[in-house]
Chain A
């Protein structure tokens, strides 16, 4: 499973997929720039300063037709590539000025092993505990997942929170 030719940033890679993580960041950035609600996209250091993430600022007037009071909200994205045969890890995390934040993650919880790797998590404010729910992602590729989250999943969450009349 772990041959000697494991290469940097691509895992088991006999024919040159090295640098995949940086290409994923670049393509996610390009796709975010094509999203109608995107105002800016930037690469920023993570909280521990040891890694980087993509941060997109959205115009919520466009994202959910003005349903949210806040003029702006942000989506933070990170992606960790693994060798072929092992699912990559990722997170798409939405943060509102109201204090609410939520995210779609493919990651283990550091302490709770009963939370599925593929999950949604949300909390009302940074002082609250997260609530978790397992999800089944529909798309297989990084850019497909980006559009699945930004077109369907995120607007549904925002509508559900701000418009109690919404039917699903």
Chain B
């Protein structure tokens, strides 16, 4: 196939405002799972109506799922400008991440994860000559920074945040490792 022939034509790249473009999502994942997926990735607290629209469930169904998730401490709720909004529960999410790290890794692996993340932060600090991800974002808004450079700074700041987050989760995991790993040890049949 010649190069040009193997490329998709422009009309295949444009799609209309098709109602069916996420049918497979609604077929493959139940409404509650769609609500969880959207609620846990929010960039700011959102109302049940907003989440209903994004997840293709009715506002009543969304509200019912969201309230149940608040009961389970997976989400938190807060009043904003007279409307109830939902967002991920920080304590629960942190506990879950720490627990997962402990379940899936040995102590020594978690130590390596923490050290690697710190090294990656150090490299970013040296590359950009700033002390934090926030400073890197401020650099992005400097007058002589082009919009492309600004986006690159934001991207690297996001990676920096990820490394900082991992250091924080890994350090807490190491503090709690002994206690948790005892809890997750399968019971041994002493008679065997």
Most buried by B among A18, A84, A102, A117: A18
Extra contacts besides A17-B43, A108-B151 (7): CB < 8 Å = A35-B28, A81-B43, A117-B151, A139-B54, A151-B24, A151-B25, A156-B13
Q: Is B103 an interface residue (CB 8 A)?
A: no
Interface residues of B in 27-56 (CB under 8 A from A): 28-29, 33-34, 36-38, 40-45, 54
- Chain B residues within an 8 Å CB radius of A8: 133, 161, 164-165, 168
Binds A, one of B61-69, B152-160, B170-178, B180-188: B152-160
Chain A min CB distance to B174 (Å): 18
Contact flags (1/0) for B135-157 with A, using CB distance below 8 Å?
00110010000111001101101
B37 touches A17 (CB 8 A): no
Q: Which residues of B contact A110 (CB under 8 A)?
A: 148, 152
Q: Which residues of A contact B164 (CB under 8 A)?
A: 8-9
Interface flags for A127-141 (1: CB within 8 Å of B; 0: not) read: 010010101001111
Compute how far the CA of A166 lies from the CA of B182 in the bound complex, rounded to whole angstroms.
59
Instruction: Judge whether B83 is part of the interface by a CB distance below 8 angstroms.
Output: no
Partner-B contacts on A (CB < 8 A) = 1-2, 6, 8-11, 15-24, 26-27, 30-31, 34-36, 50-51, 80-84, 86, 88-89, 98, 100, 102, 107-110, 113, 117, 120, 122-125, 128, 131, 133, 135, 138-144, 147-148, 150-153, 156-157, 159-161, 166, 168
Q: Are B8 and A161 in touch, CB under 8 angstroms?
A: yes
- Prevailing SS type, chain B contact patch: helix
Q: Is B14 positioned at the interface, with any CB of A under 8 Å from its CB? A: yes
A17 with B148: CB separation less than 8 A: no
Of B20, B22, B28, B76, the residue contacting A139 (CB under 8 A) is B22
B126 at the interface (CB under 8 A from A): no
Contacts from B to A (Cβ < 8 Å): 1, 3-4, 6-15, 17-18, 20-25, 28-29, 33-34, 36-38, 40-45, 54, 76, 78, 87-90, 93-94, 97, 120, 123, 133-134, 137-138, 141, 146-148, 151-152, 154-155, 157-159, 161-162, 164-165, 168-169
A140, B76: Cα distance in complex, Å? 21
Determine whether the beta carbon of B24 is less than 8 Å from that of A124.
no
Q: Which residue among B18, B93, B97, B164 has the maximum number of chain A CB atoms within 10 Å of its CB?
A: B93
When chains A and B are docked, how far (Å) is the Cα of A23 from the Cα of B87? Answer: 12
10 contacts between A and B (CB under 8 A): A9-B158, A15-B45, A19-B90, A23-B41, A26-B40, A109-B148, A124-B6, A139-B54, A143-B34, A160-B11
Q: How far is the CA of A78 from the CA of B120 in the complex (A)?
A: 18
Closest to B78 in A: A15
Q: A109-B148, A143-B37 are in contact. Are A160 and B6 (CB under 8 A)?
A: no
Q: How distant is the Cα of A12 from the Cα of B38 in the complex, in angstroms?
A: 19
Assembly CA distance A120 to B15 (angstroms)? 12
- Say whether, besides A8-B168, A27-B37, A35-B28, A122 and B8 are in contact (CB < 8 Å): yes
CA–CA, A98 to B44, complex, Å?
41
B3 touches A124 (CB 8 A): yes
